[in-house]
Amino acid sequence: MNTGDTAFMLTATALVMLMTPGLALFYGGLVRQKNVLATIMQSFACLGLVSIIWIGYGYSLVFGPDIGGFIGSLEWAGGTVIHINSACAALAAAFVLGRRKGWGREPFHPHNLPMTILGAGILWFGWFGFNAGSALSASSIAVLAFFTTQIATGAGLLSWILTEWKIQGKPTTLGAASGALAGLVAITPAAGFVGPLSAIVIGFVAGSLCYLAVLMKNRLGYDDALDVVGVHGVGGLWGALATGLFASTFWNPDGANGLFLAIHTSLSSRPLEPGPPLPIPLPLVLLY
Amino acid sequence: MQPISSGDTAFILASAGLVLLMTPALGLFYGGMVRNKNVLATIMQSLIMIAIISFEWVFVGYSLSFGPDVGGFIGDLSWFGLRGVGTAPSPTYATTIPQLVFMIYQCMFAIITPALITGAFAERMRFGPFIIFSLLWAVVVYNPVCHWIWGSGGWLAQKGVLDFAGGLVVHLTSGAAALAAALIVGPRKGFKRESFLPHNLPMTLMGTGLLWFGWFGFNGGSALAANGVAATAFVATHLAGMAGMASWCFMEKIKQGKATTLGAASGAIAGLATVTPAAGFVSPLSAIIIGILAGICCYIAVSMKNRLGYDDSLDVVGIHGLGGLMGTLCLGIFASKLINPDGANGLLAGNPAFFATEAFGVLVVLVYAFIASFILLKIVDAVFGLRVPLEDEVQGLDLSQHSETAYND
């Protein structure tokens, strides 16, 4: 047994555990004052309930001996398993439960934005355990995932508030928190498979894309109260596609080469060097 | 080439996560201390640094700070965009962990340093010009000073100046910049006539707790390996934090009759900031003395602030500036090779020359950071205008800068 890896995984596990109360605070700050405890409780209760289910039979169902199952796609830390999955459930729930009373007529202002930002900070922190810990050892791949997580999240934050600044005139703190979350969600399936500059592009696109998705929500007419579909669904979907575009065996030999690298290697016989393929991020920055 | 150590890698990755958490924590620490019309803008000034400085760091900052040396003053740009920085260990820095780990760990330090300055101009700074200033400050002040002290070939490092985890690089640079900013931006409307009460002290205390937690990564991780030096730094950090909290509260009790929670928070941060340069080089008992001195001196500095007439709104100069300065001098006094053979012997171990070296380091960094920040602020002020118009200041920055309000029914 490797003590370094064990220490790393125990720490990562505790970080991921912290994400659930973090999420509770993130959501709790966004609802009206009369609903904050119920919202927090919905996340918090999962800590108890799902732990019991997992020990009881969940672990065996998921990781036990296979019964005719399949898995084919490349997925780092839960883009499809977690984000697209939960967003589809969220979309279904928004349709089945219907809208909140007063939807479209009165604004639902977040009752406590500092609470939401605290939640976002804790989520970001915990996400290092989520993504880097998904290497399952304190290896160079864990390092890559840690780094791409940081840089994509920064990019998501920045691109959300820049888009917001352009379209609505002011960069908001809610936008910063949401943009960071969009970046985190999008990098999750790609974190251990892509290089740093790809991570910047993934985060940057995620921030703007999710912002536009959230902006369109009201026109589509469903009340996804705290934007699970717009951020986790759209972000997760983009992240999964982006993994297919940007993945590189230069960065992770156990991964695969994505579309861009396939095109590149078919055009030149030379494999990609680590370093800045500048033409990719620059136009994105210049757009604003 | 040394093999990669999984234990060291795990420890520094966890430490990097802890240091990242310090920046939103700082946002809460500061956010609780302002009036409720400015809380979001205050938090945002810390939060946005994570995005802005991470970019700066990846493209130029890391290379300027740690890249191949140019005359002892700055790194060159050969690592632009992390060219050549990968999962192999660096031959120079932290040789048992992938270089990307060292890079991202140092990135977190670069992020929190400009965020610290924001306490000096809280409640009156425009958002756009603030970002421009911070970006320029990272390039002109943080990266060079970081190179001088921590970079391979840096001129202060060559002279023997030691700084374990950023007393000079982080706290003194941000404290000096904070002083320049408070002088240039000017006091808040109503300064000295009305009292600016903190709107949410539990938020500040929450921020303090998270900062303390994160500081174990900041100081413990600066050993760059999970070894005895990390343990020394971890212990010193905790002891100085608690001693600072105790002595600040004690001073308040004597001078004002009551110990306050804001005092406990400020004292803890003063102790933590002050022990930062010394953490891996001093004994546990020295750390306690450093913490006690920090609580007393920073308390006096903060209570003298109003008489000096500048509005350092959230006491960056009195706590981080003074703390970094004092901590570095204390390192010159208390350092001992018995504790860390790679360190130095200080004044008490019979080596006054090392104390003089540390004092020289303090002087250089203080003067450079103050003058460079002063010039940068003047330029940004002349080109963009740093301060919000009076009506925006009265309305509050949350609405005027971000079109948001923090608390709604």
A173-187 and A3-30 are packed helices; what angle lies between their axes, rounded to 10 degrees?
A: 140
DSSP category for residue B167: I
Burial of A106 (0-12, 13-18, 19+ CB in 10 A): exposed
Could you tell me if A140 lies within 8 Å of chain B, comparing CB atoms?
yes
The ipTM estimated for the assembled molecules is 0.87
State pLDDT tens for residues A87-103.
888 888 888 888 888 88
End-to-end CA distance of chain B: 61
**Tokens encoding A13:** 């596990």
Residue A286, pLDDT score: 37
**Burial of residue B377 (number of CB atoms within 10 Å: 0-12, 13-18, 19+):** buried
Q: Is B70 helix (H, G, I), strand (E, B) or coil?
A: strand
- How many H-runs (helices) and E-runs (strands) does chain B carry? 17, 2
Q: What are phi and psi of A112, to 5 degrees?
A: -155, 90
Task: From chain A, pick out residues whose CB is under 8 angstroms from the CB of B97.
Answer: 143
Cβ contact B101–A146 (<8 Å) = yes
> Which 3-state string (H, E, C) describes B333-377?
HHCCCCCCCCCCCCHHHCCHHHHHHHHHHHHHHHHHHHHHHHHHH
- Say which residue, A59 or B246, is predicted with more confidence: B246
**Shortest Cα distance, chain B CAs vs residue A43, angstroms:** 21
Cα(B195)–Cα(A237) distance, integer angstroms: 51
Are the CB atoms for B332 and B348 separated by under 8 Å? no
- DSSP conformational letter for A34: G
The predicted-structure confidence for A18-55, as pLDDT tens digits, reads as follows: 999 899 999 999 999 898 888 888 888 888 788 888 88
Which residue did the predictor score with more confidence, B145 or A135?
Answer: B145
CA distance A178 to chain B (A): 12
A109–B408 C-beta distance less than 8 A? yes
Q: Which of residues 257-286 of A touch B (CB under 8 A)?
A: 274-276, 278
Q: Are A105 and B404 in contact (CB under 8 A)?
A: no
Query: How high is the pLDDT of residue A281?
Result: 41
Please report the pLDDT score of residue A247 as a whole number. Answer: 86
**Cβ pair B43, A173 in contact under 8 A:** yes
Q: Given an 8 Å threshold on Cβ–Cβ distance, is A143 in contact with B87?
A: yes
Task: Report the predicted TM-score, pTM, of the whole model to 2 decimal places.
Answer: 0.90
Q: Do A33 and B409 touch (CB under 8 A)?
A: yes
Q: A155 vs B51: CB contact, 8 Å cut-off?
A: yes
Residue of B nearest to A35 (CA): B409
Q: Tell me the CB-side half-sphere exposure of residue B106, using CA atoms within 13 A.
A: 27
Q: Measured between beta carbons, which residues in chain A are less than 8 angstroms from residue B8?
A: 4
Split at pLDDT 50, 70, 90, the class of A249 is: confident
Torsion, Cα B274 B16 B266 B244, to 10 degrees, reads -40
Give me A261's structure tokens. 């690298």
Total residue length of chain B: 409
Indicate the angle between helix axes B6-33 and A140-168, nearest 10 degrees.
Answer: 30
Choose the weakest-confidence range: A82-86, A95-99, A268-272, B385-389: A268-272
Distances (CA, A) of B150 to A175, B99, B226: 36, 15, 19
Task: Indicate the SS3 state at residue B69.
Answer: strand
| Record: contact B7-A150, CB cut-off 8 A | no
Identify which of A118, A141, A173 has the shortest CB distance to residue B40.
Answer: A173
**How far, rounded to the nearest angstrom, does the alpha carbon of residue B319 sit from its chain's CA centroid?**
10
The Cα of A271 is separated from the nearest Cα of chain B by a number of Å equal to: 15
Mean pLDDT of chain A: 83
Integer Rg of chain B from CA = 20
Q: What is the pLDDT of residue A68?
A: 64
Q: Count of CB atoms within 10 A of residue A164's CB?
A: 24
Q: Which of B7, B20, B47 sits opposite A4 (nearest CB)?
A: B7
Could you give the CA distance from residue A39 to residue A31 in angstroms, rounded to a whole number?
8
**A77 in contact with chain B, both atoms CB, cutoff 8 A:** no
Q: What is the pLDDT of residue B378?
A: 97
Is A120 near chain B, with CB under 8 Å?
yes
Structure tokens at A88: 């589809």
CA distance linking residue B160 with residue B2, whole number of Å: 26
Cα-Cα-Cα-Cα torsion A21, A27, A33, A34, nearest 10 degrees, comes to -80
Shortest Cα distance, chain A CAs vs residue B361, angstroms: 32
Select from B33, B39, B50 the residue whose CB has the most chain A CBs within 10 Å, as the one to mutate to test that interface.
B50
CB contact under 8 A, B407 and A8: no
C-alpha to C-alpha distance for B87 and B93, rounded to whole angstroms: 13
Q: Which candidate, A179, A39, A40, A26, places its Cα nearest to that of A100?
A: A39
Four-CA torsion A276, A278, A279, A281, nearest 10 degrees? 100
Of residues A245 and B61, more confidently modeled: B61
CA-wise closest residue to B342 among B263, B262, B227: B227
Rounded CA gap, B331 and B279, in Å?
A: 9
Pairing of β B69-70 and β B74-75? antiparallel
Centroid of chain to Cα B66: 19
8 Å CB contact between B232 and B222: no
Contact in structure between A160 and A153 (CB atoms under 8 Å): no
For residues A268 and A265, give the distance between their C-alpha atoms in angstroms, rounded to a whole number.
Answer: 5
Between the alpha carbon of residue B268 and those of residues A72, A98, A193, B113, B315, the distances in Å are 52, 49, 41, 18, 14
pLDDT, residue A283, reads 39
Interface contact A114-B103, CB threshold 8 A: no
Per the CB < 8 A criterion, the answer to whether B77 and B63 are in contact is yes
Contact assessment for residue B209 and residue B224, using Cβ atoms and an 8 Å cutoff: no
Span A145-159, average pLDDT? 94
DSSP B223-259: GSSSSHHHHHHHHHHHHHHHHHHHHHHHHHHHHHSS-
Q: Is A168 on the interface with B (CB under 8 A)?
A: yes
pLDDT in tens, chain B (409 residues): 578 899 999 999 999 999 999 999 999 999 999 999 999 999 999 999 999 999 999 999 999 999 999 999 999 999 988 888 888 899 999 999 999 999 999 999 999 999 999 999 999 999 999 999 999 999 999 999 999 999 999 999 999 999 999 999 999 999 999 999 999 999 999 998 888 999 999 999 999 999 999 999 999 999 999 999 999 999 999 999 999 999 999 999 999 999 999 999 999 999 999 999 999 999 999 999 999 999 999 999 999 887 888 899 999 999 999 999 999 999 999 999 999 999 999 999 999 999 999 999 999 999 999 999 999 999 999 999 999 999 999 999 999 999 999 998 7
A-chain residues near B127 (CB < 8 A): 171
Q: Confidence class of residue A60 from pLDDT cuts 50, 70 and 90?
A: confident
A124 pLDDT higher than 50:
yes
pLDDT at A87: 85
Residue with tokens 């604003």: A288
Grade residue A264 by pLDDT with cuts at 50, 70 and 90: low
